[in-house]
Homo-oligomer: A and B are copies of this chain.
Amino acid sequence: MIHSFLMIGQSNMAGRGFLQEVSPIHDEKIKMLRNGRWQTMSEPINCDRSTSGISLAASFASSWRLFHNQEDDIALIPCADGGTSLDDWSIEGPLFHNAVFQAKAAQKISTLSGILWHQGENDSNGKKHQSYIEKFALLIKTLREELHVPHIPLIVGGLGDFLQYGMYGQYFNEHHEVSKVLLEFAQNHDNCYFASAEALTANPDNIHFDAVSQRKFGIRYFKAFQQKAHILGTVKDEDKIIEQINNRPLTKNEKSELLQYQFAMGTISADEFQNQFAEINKGS
Contacts and interface: CB of A to CB of B under 8 A. Distances in A.
26 contacts: A16-B264, A18-B266, A34-B49, A34-B81, A35-B48, A35-B79, A35-B94, A35-B99, A36-B93, A36-B95, A42-B49, A42-B50, A44-B47, A51-B261, A51-B265, A94-B105, A94-B108, A94-B109, A166-B270, A167-B273, A203-B264, A204-B266, A205-B263, A205-B266, A205-B270, A208-B264
Contact of A105 (B36, B39, B97): B97
A252 interface: no
A253 interface: no
B269 A204 contact: yes
A167 B94 contact: no
A264 B51 CA distance: 7
A132 interface: no
B37 A95 contact: yes
With most chain B CB atoms within 10 A of its CB, the pick from A108, A166, A203, A266 is: A266
Interface string A76-95: 00010100000000000111
Interface string A246-281: 000000000000000101111001100110000000
Contacts of A18: 265-266
A270 B51 contact: no
A170 interface: no
Interface residues of A, number: 41
A101 interface: yes
Interface in A189-205: 203-205
B274 A167 contact: yes
Contacts of A50: 42, 261
A30 B148 CA distance: 38
Interface string A130-173: 00000000000000000000000000000000000011000000
A263 B99 CA distance: 29
A23 interface: no
Contact of A270 (B16, B167, B274): B167
A226 interface: no
A271 to B, nearest CB: 9
Contacts of A273: 167
A48 B36 contact: no
Nearest to A273: B167
A230 to B, nearest CB: 29
Contacts of A269: 204
A98 interface: yes
